[in-house]
Structure 1
Amino acid sequence: MTERSGARDARGASPEPLTPEPDDGGLEEMIGDASDIETPAEETPPPTGSESAMPEPEPDVGPTS
């Protein structure tokens, strides 16, 4: 009987270690701390007065009697 190809490879040595490696902070070192990230300025100032996001209610719209 012939062996199926790949049957032994599935249980064989893996190129990656099975034990977890200690965290060396690789991702944090690449990205940097949160203080290193520049926060972009707001493109538009916050709405004030008549520029509010909530529309004014129309006086003629309401429940009909």
Structure 2
Amino acid sequence: MAHKISVTGCPTSLIQDYGKYLTFDMEEKGSPNAPKGVPFQSNAITYTVVLSQKQFKKLNINQEGFS
């Protein structure tokens, strides 16, 4: 079952085109303030985002200007 998520952060790689799908890496900074009861701070997390061509077209961004 598909789930809808929102990822905030900055792209850290160029778009790789695999025909029907596009991928890029995105980094989200961790929080310096850990929640109460958690003994460590959160570090940066890197995600690999996979989009279909149709999803990318909805962004109204061309691949060359993506950053």
Which of the five TM-score ranges fits, normalised by the shorter chain? under 0.3
**Which protein has the larger Cα radius of gyration, Structure 1 or Structure 2?**
1
* Greater per-residue helix proportion: 1
The TM-score with structure 1 as length reference comes to 0.19
